[in-house]
Amino acid sequence: MSASHAEGKNYLNCEKGLWSWLTTLDHKRIGIMYMITVMVFFAVGGTFAMLIRGELYSAGRNIVGPETYNQFMTFHGAIMVFMVIIPGIPAFLGNFFLPMHLGAKDVAFPRVNLLSWYCLIVGAAISLVSLIYNGVDTGWTFYTPYSIETNNGTTWMVAGAFVMGFSSILTGLNFIVTTHKLRAPGMTFFNMPLFVWALYSTAVLQVLATPVLGITLMLLIAERVLGVGIFDPTLGGDPVLFQHFFWFYSHPAVYIMILPAMGIVSEIITAFSRKVIFGYKAIAFSSVGIAVVSFFVWGHHMFTSGQSEAAGILFSFITMLVGVPTAIKVFNWVATLYKGSVRFDSPMLFALGFLFLFTIGGVTGIMLATAGLDIHFHDTYFVVAHFHYVMVGGTLMAIMGGFYYWLPKMFGRMYNEFWARITFVLIFVGFNVTFFPQFILGAMGMPRRYYDYLPEFQSLNRISSFGAWTIGTGFLIALFVIIHSIRRGEKATSNPWGAKTLEWTTSSPPPHENFLETPVVTGGPYEFR
Amino acid sequence: MSSGNEIIVGGHKVAHHFDSAEQEFEASKLGIWLFLCTEILMFGGLFVGYVIFHNIYPEMFAEGAKHLDWRLGSLNTVVLLLSSFTMVLSIYYAQTNQQKKTSNMLLITFLCGLVFMVIKAFEYYHKFHLGLYPGSYFSYEHAEHANLAMYFSFYFLMTGLHGTHVLVGMFLIAWLWIRSRRKEFNKDYYTPLEVVGLFWHLVDIIWIYLFPLLYLVG
Amino acid sequence: MIWLNTAAAHASTFMPPQGTEIASQYDKLYGFIVIASLISCVLVIGGLVMFALKYKRKSENDKTAYITHDTRLEFAWSFIPFLIFMVVFVWGTYIYLELRTVPKNAFEVHVFGQKWNWDFMYKSGKKSTNEMVVPVNTPIKLIITSRDVLHSFYIPAFRVKQDAVPGRYTKLWFNADKVGDFQVFCAEYCGTNHSRMLAKVKVVSKDDFEKWLQDNPYKDLASADVGQKVYNAKCIACHQLVPEASTSIAPSFLGLFGKTRQFADSTSAQADENYIRESILNSKAKIVKRVSGEAFPPIMPAFAGALSEEELVGLIEYLKTLKE
């Protein structure tokens, strides 16, 4: 396959006009539409984060009152979870590269793929309606009974999240079928890149966990509209049942967010150390293992909710088990560097940054999994810091790394390496400055979702605010780097990094059907010999 | 952008990203099975809620079940079972190229769905007449159990969600019926029949669980 | 093991003061995990940095080693973390059970969470708000519930936390071994003033506690002064003594008594003693409109049973003294 085919014809310019995008069935174009959508939502959710840190800059009122602050905190959480991190990797990078990694022409159900994008958009629009009805101040977890009695905007936000759930289900369904049925000749399961393994595990979670969120949110809407009483203690219901239902989805959802990130890191580390991945099967199976175990750990969010001691101990034990496959992955990535040939381009910097931050996120996860310790840490800033280390330090770093890594393939142009490295430094340093102090705040006992705090928490909160604004600056510059490279970047060759997976064998940007001839696979994805 | 070598099997054009009609059929089938998994998990949430509250308030469920007419429920069960059977037959006739019979069977399946919904509507109307509404709209005055409203919340949520599925299924079957009248299905191409059929069986199976749980378990 | 203890003590410097014996056990485990974590972070991140720098790309023709896996090594780094996790799990479960198993004969206090304060009720009939007085060196069992939404009773110095769930009782216990005041937070998000739902645990000597139990806080006080005390404890979070603003979450008490109240259902009534009494005991009976015309959110919990007649009368009398 050569890059010289049909000069100038690729998936970007084969059809023109907005309508051709809105009705496209090409997985690559749908991926790009997800990219734009997620970037817009990220900007909105990020703005809320900046405002939150502005309000917490010092004790007492700074810029807004408590009701408004609670809305900021809710919108930040809900947007970042449902509209940025969950669709972020699978629906954007996954959509674009899963079929290419398999040597397929498209995903199995292109129409369903487009439908999933519209579900996200419609869901987001319904969520926005909540603003007309006094907004939402429940936090993204919508805990009952508070979510039953508060502002009417909640109904709309919950309905929006319900619709967005379908987007996630449809993406997952498509990926599973594609992986099973559309692999190129010779592409056995163990010849698949690890990104595919990660997306496959994620897809299983999306398909099996999201419907439970769907029914939970539907019950919450019924509770608000009809007063059905299932979660309402005054009508004989049980508010803690909501938490069980909610976390049965939302704990696997955490892995929906992090597993694909791990996949990206596997790709980048091999490509930039030009070395076969260490322990391919261990990494592949650990993705599946994490996915399976993640269905049985939801109770660790509820150690203080009043569940029985036996349940607490059981959930603590199973949660510890998740630590093992996670540790395996980290060690294998480090071992891959050994005797490699390492280049420090921005994607690699983000991948190494991921390893650094994710390790910290992981060990603090063990602290939280320890039932006895979690009693004190639960619902404090310690938890906030922990999941930001995993979700931002992990997932967002991986998205950024993946974005730079695949930008030449997606748009056929290179980015500016110098400025990309600047964004890495700002985001990485800013991140640690923001969230490390929050571990200490949590240990000191500052609860989360606090509009106001005791004076002794002020200095650390201030450091955290400065860090957040540094991250904000970093992402702003990243936006310019990306836009500049898409418009003005140097032309990219078909394989600028010398990577071995299939997407690099076709031209940049790829043609409409990805490959001119269906590739025939004869070996593993990382055969650097 | 077409690669120029389109595959046409049984009058149906295989989508460009598949290598063969068989691959397309297999993919569709796996897809619908996964979708059925999500449906089961979604209804599963309601069933779990039912089990939990049945344990807490068994008398409430016993009282509620008394308000339902098991004869109408049984009739509906029979109607749905029959419709599943005719659905299977329609696929069988498509596989044996008997296109006229295929569309007749689809029509019967559709009518069974309609009968089911009409009976359901009568039941709903009767409940509303007595004031047996869900949740806070409940206005029945002779309730013995303080939380009887919750039983009817479950009743309307579960049968309502199921009824929505029946309506969606009927819509899909009507669409298949139109296509079958155009003789689009034959022994080489009957994927839509297979896919919708699986969905329709699921709707049937869910009712087979709902019926005893709501009407018979006291 | 001295280094471990010193390091544990150092690690615990970020932790709140230790108010119970379990808190110091807790901090030992915490210290152990912090050190274990530091060691593993140094190993992983150190290894990462070392390999990355040592094997930096020198030329485009670099040859890399072809190492696909090493079963023994992989087993080792799966099994060793597993062992460490199990040690942590067993140790953590031990502390969890210590924290959760209430000793027999513990002194019981009922705790009620409501937006946005904490009420405490003792068996002798003594009540207090936002200040829980307990005797030192005595196991105390709290029986916790909520009058509205979820709350969580959190005493950092004792390393304990328990959600307050409406419609059921949850339990928590501690045995404070130091006299002093300890901060209480609400740790489960409960709406607008979640961050101001603070209280204190006042640990006093057993003699002082007996005296406090006998003490009638309203002794020799005029009715309106009793009312003011109740107001400061229970009402002040929402009903403020400033004229109503668009950001007020509840009606102002200034000049409320005697005023004509406009309700959300378009009826109206004069705020007399009966109206005030009803509004306190059954708060959702009549929902007042804002000056702007929309209704206030119906978020006030009903106080039926939570106030004595003396306190109720006191509040009514206190309201009469508040002029615009």
Q: Where are the domains of chain B?
A: 58-216
CA of A368 to nearest chain B CA: how many angstroms apart?
A: 28
Residue type at B211?
F
Each residue of A198-217: pLDDT tens digit?
999 999 999 999 999 999 99
When scoring B3, B42, B191 by the number of chain A Cβ atoms within 10 A, the one with the most, hence best to mutate, is B42
Please give the DSSP secondary-structure letter assigned to residue C272.
-
- pLDDT tens digits for range B149-192: 888 899 999 999 999 999 999 999 999 999 999 989 998 999 99
Chain B neighbours (≥3 Cβ pairs under 8 A) are A
- The CA distance from A175 to the nearest CA of chain C, in Å, is 27
Nearest CA-CA partner of A158 in A179, A189, A174, A135: A135
Say what the pLDDT of residue C20 is.
Answer: 92
What ipTM score was computed for the predicted complex, to two decimals?
0.91
The amino acid present at A271, given as its one-letter code, is A
Closest in A177, A227, A512 to B27, CB measured: A177
> In sequence order, what E strands does C147-291 have?
151-155, 160-164, 170-174, 180-186, 199-204, 260-262, 268-270
Does residue A180 sit at the B interface (CB-CB below 8 Å)?
yes
Q: From the list C95, C165, C186, which residue is nearest A306 (CB)?
A: C165
According to the model, what pLDDT value does residue C13 have? Answer: 61
Q: What's the confidence (pLDDT) of residue A35?
A: 96
Residues of B in contact with A241 (CB under 8 A): 49, 52
Using CA of residue C190, residue A240, residue A250, residue A312, what is the dihedral sign? positive
Chain A: closest CA distance from residue B101 (Å):
30
Q: Give chain A's domains with CATH numbers.
A: 23-505 (1.20.210.10)
Tell me the pLDDT tens digit for each residue of A220-242.
999 999 888 899 888 888 999 99
Question: Residue C260: which pLDDT band, with cuts at 50, 70 and 90?
Answer: confident
Q: Which of B40, B56, B153 has the highest number of chain A CBs within 10 A, making it the mutation to test binding with A?
A: B153
Q: In what order do the strands lie in the sheet with C117-122?
A: C127-129, C117-122, C107-114, C140-146, C170-174
Q: Pairing between strand C107-114 and C140-146?
A: parallel
Residue with tokens 């400033």: C242
User: Do A503 and A100 form a contact (C-beta atoms < 8 A)?
Assistant: yes
For C15, the token pair is 């932790």
The answer to which of A498-512, B87-101, C72-86, C276-290 has the lowest mean pLDDT is: C276-290
Q: How far from C274 is each of B114, C3, C278, CA to CA, in Å?
A: 58, 68, 6
Say what percent of chain A tops pLDDT 90. Answer: 85
* Closest residue in B to A175 (Cα–Cα): B31
Interface contact A216-B26, CB threshold 8 A: no
Contact B102, B180 (CB under 8 A): yes
Return the residue of C nearest to A438 by Cα: C14
Q: Does A379 touch chain B (CB under 8 A)?
A: no
Nearest to B147 among A209, A219, A236 (CB): A236
Find, in chain A, the residue whose alpha carbon is nearest to that of C14: A444
The alpha carbon torsion through A466, A470, A475, A481 (nearest 10 deg) reads 160
Length of chain C: 324
Task: Tokens for C55, please give them.
Answer: 């094997």
Average pLDDT, chain C: 88
Rounded to the nearest 10°, the torsion over CA C109, C114, C119, C124 is -60
Which of 338-367 (A) contact C at CB < 8 A? 338-344, 352, 355-356, 359-360, 363-364, 366-367
> Rounded to an integer, what is the distance from CA C176 to the centroid of its chain?
17
Are C99 and C188 a contacting pair, CB within 8 Å?
no
CB pairs under 8 A between A and B: 122
Pairing of strands C199-204, C160-164: unpaired
**3-state class (DSSP) for residue A414:** coil
To test the contact with chain C by mutation, choose from A341, A374, A439 the residue with the greatest count of C C-beta atoms within 10 A, namely A341
| Mean pLDDT, rounded, of chain B | 90
Residue A3 has pLDDT above 60, yes or no: no
User: What pLDDT shows up at residue C241?
Assistant: 83
Tokens linked to C263? 């309700």
Q: Greatest CA span in chain C, whole angstroms?
A: 94
* Mean pLDDT on A264-284: 94
- The sign of the torsion formed by the CA atoms of C90, C95, C101, C105 equals positive
Which one of A106, A227, A237 has the shortest CB-CB distance to B17?
A: A106
pLDDT tens track for C195-228: 999 999 999 999 999 999 888 778 788 888 888 8
At C282 the pLDDT is 84
The shortest CB-CB distance from C247 to any of A65, A321, A445 is to: A65
The answer, for B25 touching chain A at a CB cutoff of 8 Å, is no
Per DSSP, chain B holds a count of helices (H) and strands (E) of 6, 2
Phi-psi region of A378 (alpha: psi -120 to 50; beta: other; left: phi over 0): beta
Give the rounded percent of residues in chain C with a pLDDT score beyond 90. Answer: 49
User: Buried (b) or exposed (e) across C16-52, using 16+ Cβ within 10 A?
Assistant: bebbbebbbbbbbbbbbbbbbbeebeeebbebbeebb
Residue B3 above 50 pLDDT?
A: no
Q: Do A372 and C98 touch (CB under 8 A)?
A: yes
Asked whether the beta carbons of C233 and C129 are under 8 A apart, the reply is yes
Cα Rg of chain A (Å, integer)? 23
Interface residue of A56, A132, A144, A146 to substitute, partner C, most C CBs within 10 Å:
A146
What is the model's pLDDT at position A437? 94
Q: Which residue of C has its CA nearest to A364?
A: C37
Closest Cα in chain B, distance from residue A382 (Å): 31
Q: How far is C8 from chain A (nearest CA, A)?
A: 14
Pairing between β-strand C107-114 and β-strand B8-9 as defined by DSSP bridges: unpaired
Q: Which of the two residues, A529 and A5, has the higher pLDDT score? A: A529
pLDDT digits (tens, 9 = 90+) for B73-109: 999 999 999 999 999 999 999 999 999 999 999 999 9
- CA A177 to each of CA A191, A257, B33: distance values in angstroms, whole numbers, following the listed order: 17, 20, 10
Rounded CA separation B172/A176 (Å): 24
Q: What are phi and psi of C129, to 5 degrees?
A: -130, 130
Q: Which is nearest to C132 in space by CA: C149, C109, C162?
A: C109
Residue A226: list chain B partners with CB under 8 A: 134-137, 153
If you measure CA to CA, which chain C residue comes closest to A313? C93
Chain B from 93 to 112: CB within 8 A of any A CB: none
- In 3D space, the residue among A175, A329, A323, A311 whose CA is nearest the CA of residue A261 turns out to be A329
Q: Can you tell me whether residue C271 is helix, strand or coil?
A: coil
Q: For A96-153, give the DSSP string.
A: HHHHHHHT-SS-S-HHHHHHHHHHHHHHHHHHHHTTTTT---STTTT-TTHHHHS-TH
The CATH class, in words, for B58-216 is mainly alpha
Residue in B26, B41, B135 closest to A229 by CB:
B135
Domains in chain C, CATH or no CATH each = 2-51+70-100 (no CATH), 107-214 (2.60.40.420), 223-321 (1.10.760.10)
**Chain C: partners with 3+ C-beta pairs within 8 Å:** A
Residue type for position A296:
F
Give the Cα separation of A251 and A300 in Å (integer): 9
A139 and C CB contact within 8 Å: yes
Whether B4 and chain A come into contact, CB under 8 Å, resolves to: no
Count of C-beta atoms within a 10 Å radius of residue B148: 22
Contact A437, A464 (CB under 8 A): yes
* Nearest alpha carbon to residue A413 among A481, A502, A344, A499: A481
Q: Are chains C and B touching, using the cut-off of 8 Å on CB pairs and a minimum of 3 such pairs?
A: no
Cβ of residue A274 closer than 8 Å to a chain C Cβ? yes
Tens digit of each residue's pLDDT (9 = 90 or more) over A122-180? 999 999 999 888 889 999 999 989 999 888 889 999 999 999 999 999 999 999 999 99
Contact at CB, B27 and A238, closer than 8 angstroms = no
Going by C-alpha positions, the residue among C209, C157, C203, C151 that lies closest to residue C184 is: C157
Residue B2: per-residue pLDDT = 42
Confirm or reject contact between A219 and chain B (CB < 8 A).
yes
* Whether residue B60 has pLDDT greater than 90: no
**Could you say which DSSP state residue A82 is in?**
I
> How far A501 CA lies from chain B's nearest CA (Å)?
20
Peptide bond preceding C16 in cis form (omega within 30 of 0): no
Contact C177, C21 (CB under 8 A): yes
Of A180, A207, A513, the CB nearest to B1: A513
Lowest average pLDDT, out of A5-9, B118-122, B149-153, B200-204, goes to A5-9
Set of chain A residues whose Cβ sits within 8 Å of the Cβ of B39: 211
pLDDT exceeds 70 at position A388: yes
A323 and C97: CB-CB below 8 Å? no
Residues 452-511 of A with CB under 8 A from C: 452-454
Question: Given pLDDT bands bounded at 50, 70 and 90, which one contains residue A342?
Answer: very high
| A370 touches C: beta carbon within 8 Å | yes
- Among residues A265, A493, A269, A276, the alpha carbon closest in space to that of C63 is found at A276
What number is the average pLDDT over the span B56-62? 88
Determine the pLDDT at residue B1: 38
What's the pLDDT at A79? Answer: 95
pLDDT higher than threshold 60 for residue C233? yes
For residue A78, give both structure tokens: 């809900």
> Taking a C-beta distance cutoff of 8 angstroms, is the pair C143, C169 a contact?
yes
Taking the C-alpha atoms of residue B166 and residue C106, their distance in angstroms, rounded to an integer, is: 58
- How many Å lie between the alpha carbon of B86 and the closest alpha carbon of chain A? 28
**Size (chain A), residues:** 529
φ and ψ of A344, to 5 deg: -105, 55
- How far does the CA of residue B211 sit from the closest CA of chain A (Å)? 20
Whether A470 has a pLDDT exceeding 70, the answer reads yes
- Measured between beta carbons, which residues in chain A are less than 8 angstroms from residue C98? 372
- C44–A352 C-beta distance less than 8 A: no
For the cut 90, the answer to whether the pLDDT of residue C144 exceeds it is: yes
The predicted model gives A345-349 an average pLDDT of 95
Which positions ≥6 away from C15 have C-beta within 8 Å? A443, A444, C27, C30
Strand-pair category, B8-9 with B12-13: antiparallel
What pLDDT score does B5 carry? 66
Top residue of B16, B17, B18 to mutate, by most chain A CBs within 10 Å, is B17
Among the listed residues C103, C98, C180, the one whose alpha carbon sits nearest the alpha carbon of residue C135: C180
* Lowest-confidence region among A379-393, A400-414, C235-249: C235-249
Closest chain A residue to the Cα of B44, Cα to Cα: A212
Which whole number is the average pLDDT over C96-124? Answer: 92
**Could you identify the residue written with the tokens 């922990």?**
A386
* Whole-number pLDDT of residue C256: 85
Measured over the CA atoms of residue A434, residue A439, residue A440 and residue A445, the dihedral's sign is positive
